Amino acid sequence: MFEQIKHNMETIAGVSIYPILSLLIFFFFFVGLAIWVVSYKKEKIEELSQIPLDDKIKV
């Protein structure tokens, strides 16, 4: 089955751009996510971490 897929993919012109494009999309997504996590305010993280311990039910 994989030989058929490999053969079909090799015969498509310009198919080599898709692995590069997918790698770049995932790379920039994870770099952006890492920047967002590192720059998140510590006070907000503390507030969010206390939500499971809060006795008040917010509706």
58 occurs within a structural domain? no
Is 13 among the domain residues? Answer: yes
On whether residue 18 sits in a domain, the answer given is yes
Across 19-35, average pLDDT: 96
The parent domain of residue 24 ranges over 2-53
Give residue 37's pLDDT band: very low, low, confident or very high (50, 70, 90): very high
User: Phi and psi for 9 in degrees, rounded to 5?
Assistant: -70, -35
The structural domain count of the chain equals 1
For the stretch 1-19, pLDDT in tens is: 677 777 777 777 777 888 8
Is the residue at 34 inside a domain?
yes
pLDDT of 33 higher than 90: yes
Res. 57 pLDDT band, cuts 50 70 90: low
Q: Per the domain annotation, does 59 fall within a domain?
A: no
Domain assignment present for 17: yes
CA nearest 3: which of 48, 11, 23, 52? Answer: 11
Q: Is residue 48 part of a domain?
A: yes
